[in-house]
Every structure is written in structure tokens, then in C-alpha cells.
Amino acid sequence: MRFMLLFSRQGKLRLQKWYTATAERDKKKMVRELMQMVLARKPKMCSFLEWRDLKIVYKRYASLYFCCAIEEQDNELITLEVIHRFVELLDKYFGSVCELDIIFNFEKAYFILDEFLMGGEIQDTSKKSVLKAIEQADLLQEEDESPRSVLEEMGLA
């Protein structure tokens, strides 16, 4: 996978993950182009597009478009499954995820994505183990943060 984008029906970017080194200006241009192309598609159309030398796989979940760019030899159908798996993870984590969750907790969406995919490839094919890992990392973060506040409360910080 070259990159993944999440954007709303109004064309607002909610998440972008690039797996190849690209200049900032080029990124912006590509995002604009792709958003235009995907947003112009009608509801029952094919989920696959050809764009430049890449294949674009996109799927709409409620008000968000999940859009991945894969290479010529990659399997489009399994990419649809990858997107679906990511949505399932978000859903499990946030509990019935909606766009607002992703807006207000964008950094967590990134953490989940980084636990699920690395370099564009799946890290673990088991949903359970990905969720467990994120849970553990969150606990670690809380442990890190809470002692502080206790000390502060005691006036010893």
C-alpha cells in the first residue's frame, strides 16, 4: 500500500498515512485530486479506480471515505478486507465509531492504524491481538501520566 486517506463527504481530510517518502506539496496535490475523483463517484459504482500508475480502492462508511492506493500487482479485493478490518478495529475501540470520534481523537486513530499496519502491510491478522496491544499501550500511557498528577496533588511536584 502506498498511502491511506480518510476524508468526509465535504472533502475534509480526517487522516492521512503515507508509506512512501513524498514531498509535502505533492501530497497536497494528490490528496486534492483523489478527493475530487472519489467524491464524484455515484453510490453503486465499482470500488476500484485507476489513477496514474496506481490502483485506488475506496469504500464509504457512513460519512467517511476510506481510500487506499495500491500497486499494480496488489489484490484489490483483499485491500477492501483490510479497510474493513481497520473500521472494525476503530469500531471496537471507540464503541460504535462515528466521524466525530475520529475528529476529536485523531491521535488515537493514528495509534490504532500504526498498530494494525506497518509500511503498508498488515502486522497481525488477528483482530483480538491488535486490540489487546492497543489496550496495553494505553494502560502504559495512563500509568505514565497518573503518578504525576498524584504527586502534584500532594504538592510535591
Partner 1 sequence: MSPSVPLQEMIRAIRSARTQCEERGVIQRECAAIRAQFRQADNGGRSHNLAKLLYVHMLGYPAHFGQMECVRMIASPRYSEKRVGYLGAMMLLDEKQDASLLITNSIKNDLSHSNQYVQSLALCTLACMGSAEMCRDLAPEIDRLLRASNSYIKKKAALCAVHIVRKVHELGELFAPAARSLLTEKNHGVLHGAVVLIIELCERNPETLERFRKTVPDLVQIMKGLVLSGYSPEHDVAGISDPFLQVRILRLLRILGHNNEGASDAMNDLLAQVATNTDSTKTVGNAVLYETVLTVLDIKSESGLRVLAVNILGRFLLNNDRNIRYIAMTSLQKIVGTDHNAVQRHRGTIVDCLKDQDASVKRRALELSLALVSATNVRSMMKELLIFLSSCPQELKSHAASGIFNAAERYAPSQRWHIDTILHVLTTAGGDVRDETVPNLIQLITNASELHCYTVHKLYRALLLDISTQSLVQVACWCIGEYGDLLLRGECQETEPVQVTEDDVLDALETVLQSHMSSPATRGFALTATMKLSTRITDNVDRIRSVVSIYGSCIDVELQQRAVEYNALFKKYDHMRAAVLERMPVIEKNSPGHTNGESMGEVKENQASKKPTEPKLLPQPANQVCDLLGLLGGSEETLQPSPSTALGLLTNTPSTAGGNLLDLLGDLEPEPLTPAPLVPVYDKDGVALTLSCEKQSDTAMTVTLTASNSTDSDISSFTLQAAVPKSVKLNMNAPSGDSLPARGAAKVTQMVVLNYQNKVNLKMKIRISYSSRGSTFQDTVQIDTFPGL
Kindly list the residues in this chain that would bind partner 1 in the complex (CB under 8 A): 13-16, 19, 21-23, 28, 42, 44-50, 75-78, 80-82, 85, 103-108, 110-111, 114-115, 118-119, 121-129, 133, 136-138, 140-145, 148-149, 152
104 SS3 class: helix
Q: How far is the CB of 57 from partner 1 (least distance, A)?
A: 9
Is-contact 38 57, C-beta < 8 A?
no
Q: How far is the CB of 87 from partner 1 (least distance, A)?
A: 13
Is-contact 39 65, C-beta < 8 A?
yes
DSSP 68: E
Q: How far is the CB of 141 from partner 1 (least distance, A)?
A: 5
**Which H or E run contains 88?**
helix 76-94
Enumerate the β-bridge partners of residue 68: 4, 57
Q: Between residues 62 and 157, which has the closer beta carbon with respect to partner 1?
A: 157
Q: Between residues 53 and 143, which has the closer beta carbon with respect to partner 1?
A: 143
Q: How far is the CB of 101 from partner 1 (least distance, A)?
A: 10
Is-contact 35 127, C-beta < 8 A?
no
**Which H or E run contains 67?**
strand 64-70
Q: How far is the CB of 62 from partner 1 (least distance, A)?
A: 18
Q: Between residues 62 and 107, which has the closer beta carbon with respect to partner 1?
A: 107
CA atoms within 13 A on the CB side of 35: 19
Q: Between residues 63 and 136, which has the closer beta carbon with respect to partner 1?
A: 136
Q: Between residues 62 and 132, which has the closer beta carbon with respect to partner 1?
A: 132
Q: Compute CA distances 77 → 10, 11, 131, 151, 156, whole Å.
A: 27, 25, 24, 52, 57
